Amino acid sequence: MLLSEDELERMQKRFPYPRFSKAEYERRYSNIRKMMREMNLDCLLIIGGAAAYGRCWFNFRYVTNMLGKAEMPIIVFSRETASRQS
């Protein structure tokens, strides 16, 4: 599920903490996709750690900059740029 720009903005107001710039996200995503092409991967499954704040969250935070909770979040990161859905 992709969030609309409005939903993302509401979440960022509700949970304020430092955010990366759009350019920084694009730099990170570009590096990830370059590595994926080199390794011939179509997608990555990125899993955050459950119930251990700070532990096992580094990959998840690198991609999203979101802080962890007790739930186990999962990201499917595509090698192709995802189109935003409203």
Between 42-46, 49-53, 68-72, the lowest mean confidence (pLDDT) is in 49-53
Look at residue 83 and tell me if it is in a domain. Answer: no
| Structural domain for 44, as ranges | 5-78
| Dist CA 40 CA 38 (whole Å) | 6
Look at residue 84 and tell me if it is in a domain. Answer: no
More confident: 11 or 40: 40
Number of domains the chain is built from: 1
Look at residue 85 and tell me if it is in a domain. Answer: no
| For residue 37, pLDDT beyond 90 | yes
pTM (2 decimals)?
Answer: 0.64
Look at residue 86 and tell me if it is in a domain. Answer: no
| Dist CA 32 CA 47 (whole Å) | 15
Confidence of residue 3 (pLDDT cuts 50, 70, 90): low
pLDDT of residue 50: 59
Average pLDDT over residues 19-38: 89
| Tokens 């590595």 found at | 35
| Dist CA 27 CA 4 (whole Å) | 21
